[in-house]
Amino acid sequence: MSFQPAGHPAIMRHHDKGARVARIVERTAKNGAKSWLVKWRIGGGRHGREDFETCYTKEIAQTFAALVGHNGENRPEGYPKGCHGLQQTGPTGPDAGMPTFEQYARTNYAIRTAASPTQRYDYLAEAERHIFPFFGHLPLNEVTRRVLREWAEWMLAKPSARNEHQPGKPLSPERAARRWAHANGIMVKKTGRVSPEVLQRWRAAGSPLQQERAAGTLSPGTVAKIYRGSIKPVFRAAMREGEDGEPPLLFSTPCDGFHLPAAPVAARAVLFGPEVEIYLRAVYDTDPATALFIVTEMATGLRWGELAGLHVSGLDPTAGVIQVVQAYALLLNEKTGRKEWQLKPYPKGKKRRQVPISTQLAALLIQHAQGKKPDEPLFQGIRGCYIDYGNQRNTILQPALTLARQRGLSKHITPHALRHTMITMLRDGSVAPGVMQLVAGHESYQTTAGYAGSETPAQRSLILNSVQPVVDAAEAVFDIPPDNGHL
């Protein structure tokens, strides 16, 4: 058999004695991973219903396409939908023996009733991209610790979503000039055409472009997230009895004794002292309306989605609190099968909470809420709708961070880092851990306790003051040189 390109280099046709054989379409995912889609018209007719199968190697796709052709442009027996071109031998019912990891995992993801539709969608999407191509074809009892270790090594070598296979789109001169102007504190309109004067100054500066990020690989944190959500629970479920009392499929799990490669420990990015004003002023100079959003986020510790989904009715200035009852999040639209930004009727953890606010912040928010209806978002986009996360990040927060770095800030600050800042301030202010947990909306106390594991300037002062008697005693014994402010 031979395969030759037809029209587009990514499309190939198999020629075998006049048979109308499936097309093979090569596809490249955002992370650079390749797959081959085998497509054909059932029965070979021009108007027949289309069927398809995704294969993860070119050789499997070619073999499967040939089988489809030999079977009269019909799906071959033993190759059910979702087989990825690999033959499923024997019956596929409950008595068929040990299912493959992919077969069992697909069922497991679908029946996780405690998970939301969006979570189930994410589990399956991550498995289809990162797990099934590696060991999805193996029976459950053939997935060993060695297989998991090799999978982890393979994952850590995979290119991340932003890499040489998916370079960023080149910026137009106007967009490049606008970003350069924001970074250099030059006033420029947020939308519309950039003035000829700004363009001229940008060209005079050498037409600088934003540096592209270097290609990288998947982080250990990403690998751990996929392992804990899409692999480990599958084996745990296989060790339980079925819903109708069927015996467990496994009596041990390869996850026992398996440890992912250690991830590098990174300190949380938190703003301290003068850094708060440097960052806030940079945001204000970029967009004053967003600066109030940032102040509220930093003073309340609300997650970005909780603040973006906050309605005017959630502001209670009389009681001096914000009622957190919902969140704006990227959720699965079950009608379209795609993820879209939607209002979720509960915050993370599905528990409403109250967060106190000062009289000064309440006054600013009341002024900001004037003219808005109770069921409208408190912070709105240009057209009066919910804030667009990507637009806020790309057009306001990133230029503001560049401006703050030029003014002396060395940390990489994200919206979630502002939440970390607030919770760290609570800890430094000796707020009781239980109260911290309630205000932060942490489901587990262990999450709140994690903030006790880092040293801050306030904690440093407490530590040094506590051990000062030792230093005082040492001064009476040793000839300690004067403190010049250096360690």
Identify the CA nearest to 346 among candidates 446, 443, 435, 424. 443
Kindly list the distances between the CA atom of residue 5 and the CA atoms of 8, 20, 69, 132, in Å, as whole numbers in the listed order.
Answer: 7, 15, 17, 28
Please report the pLDDT score of residue 86 as a whole number.
Answer: 79
Sheet containing 34-41: give its strands across.
3-6, 8-14, 23-28, 34-41, 50-55
Gap between the Cα atoms of 312 and 372, Å rounded: 7
What residue type is assigned to position 221 of the chain?
Answer: G
Please report the pLDDT score of residue 162 as a whole number.
Answer: 52
- Domain 274-412, second-level architecture: Orthogonal Bundle (1.10)
Gap between the Cα atoms of 132 and 138, Å rounded: 9
Please report the pLDDT score of residue 356 as a whole number.
Answer: 87
Please report the pLDDT score of residue 484 as a whole number.
Answer: 47
Kindly list the distances between the CA atom of residue 57 and the CA atoms of 26, 88, 133, in Å, as whole numbers in the listed order.
Answer: 10, 17, 9
Kindly list the distances between the CA atom of residue 362 and the CA atoms of 297, 317, 348, 457, in Å, as whole numbers in the listed order.
Answer: 13, 6, 24, 29
* Structure tokens given for 97: 């023996």
Please, are residues 414 and 394 in contact by the beta-carbon 8 Å criterion?
no
Cross-strand bridge partners of residue 26: 36
Please report the pLDDT score of residue 215 as a whole number.
Answer: 54
pLDDT tens-place values along the chain, 487 residues long: 232 333 333 333 344 444 456 889 988 866 566 778 899 888 887 777 888 888 878 888 888 999 988 888 888 888 877 777 877 654 444 435 789 999 999 989 988 888 888 999 999 999 999 999 999 999 999 999 999 999 999 998 887 765 444 445 567 787 788 878 877 778 777 666 788 888 888 888 887 776 555 556 788 888 999 999 999 999 999 999 877 777 888 989 999 989 998 877 677 788 888 888 999 999 999 998 898 999 899 888 899 999 999 999 999 988 888 899 999 999 988 888 888 999 989 888 888 888 888 888 888 899 999 999 999 999 998 778 899 988 899 889 999 999 999 999 988 888 888 888 888 888 777 777 777 777 778 777 677 766 665 555 666 676 667 667 766 666 665 565 555 444 4
SS3 of residue 340 by DSSP: strand
* Structure tokens given for 1: 């058999």
Domain ranges (residues) in the chain: 3-70, 173-204, 274-412
Kindly list the distances between the CA atom of residue 231 and the CA atoms of 107, 110, 128, 262, in Å, as whole numbers in the listed order.
Answer: 13, 14, 12, 18
Specify the DSSP class assigned to residue 483: -
Please report the pLDDT score of residue 211 as a whole number.
Answer: 57
Identify the CA nearest to 285 among candidates 381, 451, 403, 204. 403
Please report the pLDDT score of residue 327 as a whole number.
Answer: 92
DSSP 126-140: HHHHHTHHHHTTSBG
Cross-strand bridge partners of residue 327: 344
Please report the pLDDT score of residue 477 as a whole number.
Answer: 59
* Structure tokens given for 351: 């528990």
